[in-house]
Structure 1
Amino acid sequence: MSEGQDVSLAAQGRVFVELLEHWGLDEPSVVAHDFGGAVALRAHLLHGAPYRRLALVDPVALAPWGSPFFRLVGANAEVFEQLPPALHGALVREYVTSASHKGLHPATLDALVAPWLGDAGQPAFYRQIAQADQRHTDDVQGRYRELDLPVLICWGAEDTWIPPAKGRELAGLVPRARLQTVERAGHLVQEDAPAELTAALTAFLS
């Protein structure tokens, strides 16, 4: 949340490797959602982090990515940072809401929005979008056939942020991947269909 802080996918991939080493985890099973998918893939393919198995839930993994709104904000982050707080709050609430197919419980929506409000949260929201560069997935996209471990790809059937077709494309690039579509779920599968996602992950991880 600090000005000047590197929160790029490249930085997060390195930090994830350091965390695994700090925790002393030997070949953990990893579950990663959205940007976390890109982080986990970079950590494994570029930095050699060993996994026992990998579950990717609606991951950012294939070009092109980023909605028109996402690209607009990324190119004009300093302008958006200056929005009146009330307008910024409404924008973030609408943005987060659009990630759900069924609609989020008000308390859940409040919790997801809260970090991005206030004097620290508002500029941080736009800074992290500005640092989201597709080149960080371009670095690894050509190496997905090197993934030699069990991979589960879960995708919300109603994801409007990253279309389900991307899940089918990704599954076709990973040799040992299995694709599981989660019905009646948007991008936030864990909120829209928690029981179905938990069942899929439990079966895969066990």
Structure 2
Amino acid sequence: MMTHHPPLPDPVHVTVGGASVATRVLAPSGPSAGDIVLCHGTPWSSQVWADVAREVSRDHRVFLWDMPGYGDSEMGPTVATDLAAQAARLASLIRGWGLERPHVVAHDIGGAVALGAHLLHRVDFADLFLWDIVTLDLWGSPFFRLVAQHAHVFSRLPANLHSALVKEYIAGAGRLSTQQVEALASPWSGPVGQAAFYRQIAALDAADTRAVAEKLGAARCPTRIGWGREDPWIPLGQAYELQSRLPGRPEVVVLDGSGHLTPWEEPEAVIAALRAWLAETRDAPDGQATR
């Protein structure tokens, strides 16, 4: 089992839409077989992709970013963390990186953000691999919806109660060790992190995902779907509903025994699925695999 060490390299901060975005690029020592952009979800950061990124960067350039409001990116009260703003930022980042038709891999709300960049901002992808994504109604646990309605109350919790609540929430995502929970919860500690945690929840609105879901049939790139069979936050049934709405009825890769946080819980299985996906693209005529 991978241990999520060593950590990713220190970020390079760039300004996108007035917000400071922490970015990281991992490159192979030799020629690159292509570019891969990895998108994280909530309440995580690009660190959930660390093992996957290091492995696939052996032969691809890998681009990671912490969405503003998360991880090492700007977390202040003036930073917009709604999905529409994040999708616009991703579109700007891809253009700023000078990428043409990158492979894109996205988890949780990162899926809605990637789809928004593609469908609403007309960014072309070579293909798109979606893992346990937030796009179709209904999404968000009962706890998530409660916090969204009362974020101003939860943000005033004493620090020890906030810490316990965040850890319990994260632990509910799947099969995570105490060490993993501690690592994932650490960005949300302290006054800045605590306030940011509740702000990002309050900013997430199903209206933003509906705007994306309505256009799923217009996806212009091959897609594939990955899901944890035991995902307690977004049931596996949503993977098959997503499959029915995307062109070509893309394959659904199901990871037995995995919960919601598939890239972190089962990095080896996710890497294997990505390797198979990239090989199909490489071997298909004109670089286009049939999904």
Same fold (TM over 0.5): yes
User: Normalising by the residue count of structure 2, what TM-score does the alignment of the two structures yield?
Assistant: 0.69
Corresponding residue for 1:141?
A: 213
User: Normalising by the residue count of structure 1, what TM-score does the alignment of the two structures yield?
Assistant: 0.96
CA contact (8 A) 1:184 1:192 kept: no
Compare the two structures and name the one with the higher helix fraction: 1
- CA drift of 1:12 comes to 0.4
Q: Report how many residues are paired.
A: 204
2:145 to 61, 71, 83: 71
Identical-pair percentage: 45
- CA drift of 1:5 comes to 1.4
CA contact (8 A) 2:124 2:220 kept: no
1:50-199 paired onto structure 2 within 5 Å: 50-100=124-174, 102=175, 104-176=176-248, 177-199=250-272
Indicate the structure whose relative CO is greater, using CA pairs within 8 Å and at least 6 residues apart: 1
1:145-204 per-residue CA deviation (whole Å, 9 max, x = no partner) reads 111321110000000100000001001111231111111100011122211111111111
Mapped to 2, the partners of 1:116 and 1:78 lie a distance apart of 16
- CA drift of 1:108 comes to 2.1
Q: Secondary structure at the match of 2:251?
A: strand
Matched to 1:35, the amino acid is: I
Give me the CA root mean square deviation. Answer: 0.9
Matched to 1:126, the amino acid is: Y
- CA drift of 1:16 comes to 0.2
Mapped to 2, the partners of 1:37 and 1:8 lie a distance apart of 14
- CA drift of 1:68 comes to 1.4
1:114-150 per-residue CA deviation (whole Å, 9 max, x = no partner) reads 1101110001100000000001111021211111321
Matched to 2:100, the amino acid is: D
- CA drift of 1:106 comes to 2.9
In structure 2, list runs of 5 or more residues that go unmatched.
Answer: 1-74, 280-291
1:203 to 269, 272, 276: 276
Q: Secondary structure at the match of 1:30?
A: strand
Mapped to 1, the partners of 2:124 and 2:107 lie a distance apart of 18
- CA drift of 1:9 comes to 0.5
Q: Secondary structure at the match of 2:225?
A: strand
Mapped to 2, the partners of 1:84 and 1:198 lie a distance apart of 40
Mapped to 2, the partners of 1:197 and 1:120 lie a distance apart of 33
- CA drift of 1:6 comes to 0.4
Q: Secondary structure at the match of 2:146?
A: helix
Q: Secondary structure at the match of 1:24?
A: coil
Mapped to 1, the partners of 2:126 and 2:96 lie a distance apart of 18
Matching of residue 29 in structure 1 with residue 103 in structure 2: yes
1:10-25 paired onto structure 2 within 5 Å: 10-25=84-99
Mapped to 2, the partners of 1:200 and 1:95 lie a distance apart of 28
Mapped to 1, the partners of 2:169 and 2:267 lie a distance apart of 21
CA contact (8 A) 1:74 1:130 kept: yes
Q: Which runs of 4+ in 1 moved over 4 A?
A: none
Mapped to 2, the partners of 1:10 and 1:77 lie a distance apart of 20
